Amino acid sequence: MSEPIAAVAVRAAELTARGFPREAIDLLRPALAANPLYAEAWCRLAAAHLDVGEPDPALSAAKRALVLDGDHAWAQRLAALALSELGRHTEAVVAARECVRRKPGDWRCRVVLAEVLAAAPDTRREAVDEGREATRLAPGEARAYQVLGDAALRIRDWGTAEWAYRNALKLDPVDDDVRANLATVRRKRGASPAPPTGDALTAAHAMAWPALSRLAVLLVTGGLLLLLAGLPSPTPLLGWFSALLVAAVGLVLLRLLVRARRGVRRALLVLPRYRPRVAAATTMFGLSTGILAGWTVALFLGGTTMQPLVIAWLCAVLGGSVVVLGGGR
């Protein structure tokens, strides 16, 4: 009995590929009523229902395939897509991850995981990573590049999106959706600079964190020495040592920018937007240095107060605490 249903499944696959999924459904339903134990046919039915925009029966068919002997990874892919269409994002991600677990080297599993991850804002960056992995596993598949481009487009990573869409069009030049998305990316990229890639941000973070550690040592230790030296009342001479401390901070920052490559240098400038610990430490050290510079000028003009120095030192301590507790992560 498996031969007739197998032939029906092949015919249904041909109909779906030619753009007639409704006919495929009409062909499969009576065949499955007579032969309900053929998992591939259930998967074909689920795929056809997805093509006509019917996620509920698609999910039911995929679940039937999951309890039968067959390609469970395929059934998990179909279930994940149906769940995503139904708005059940968490369940869709679980199904897609299970698909990847079953077949980690199958690019189609990575594509489906990228698709469902891209549906929610908090998982879109992971969707880009999964899309990249799909293109690595299947460099000749246009669909893998399209999904990567779609995920990158959602996080406004114009550079990655353009690269992905261009590769997708090389493999499938007649895909109008990809062509339209590429035009959108080029228009957006012309209107605003592309955000740094994940690799550039990682490289910038690896360079910035040691520099922040050096600033912590400079500002905390230097500020403490200035406090001790300024008791009971600071003199203009102390202003020269305070100026040297401000200059040392400037040298650390200048050295960081000079050492960075062009792409990484731009990532350094926007790194606080993507790394909260870097933002917190940078803000505290910036306040500390600014207050210290103002206090230095006040000393040269005859000021004798120590309060600004205390505030600057406390800001440095707070920033240093962020650096120590952050541990470079």
**321 and 240 together in one domain:** yes
Mean pLDDT of 77-104: 92
Tell me what pLDDT residue 3 has. Answer: 45
Mean pLDDT of 85-114: 93
Tell me what pLDDT residue 146 has. Answer: 95
Quote the percentage of the chain above a pLDDT of 90.
Answer: 60
Tell me what pLDDT residue 194 has. Answer: 54
Mean pLDDT of 96-103: 92
Tell me what pLDDT residue 79 has. Answer: 93
**202 and 317 together in one domain:** yes
Tell me what pLDDT residue 2 has. Answer: 45
pLDDT digits (tens, 9 = 90+) for 145-174: 999 999 999 998 988 999 999 999 999 888
The rounded distance, in Å, linking the Cα atoms of 192 and 39 is: 49
The structural domain count of the chain equals 3
The separation between CA 102 and the C-alpha centre of its own chain, rounded to angstroms, equals: 24
Q: Which domain holds residue 152?
A: 120-195
The separation between CA 38 and the C-alpha centre of its own chain, rounded to angstroms, equals: 39
Tell me what pLDDT residue 205 has. Answer: 87
What CATH number does the domain containing 86 carry? 1.25.40.10
The rounded distance, in Å, linking the Cα atoms of 324 and 220 is: 12
**190 and 207 together in one domain:** no
The rounded distance, in Å, linking the Cα atoms of 212 and 284 is: 11
**64 and 40 together in one domain:** yes
Choosing from 162, 177, 195, the residue where a domain stops is 195
The rounded distance, in Å, linking the Cα atoms of 75 and 102 is: 11
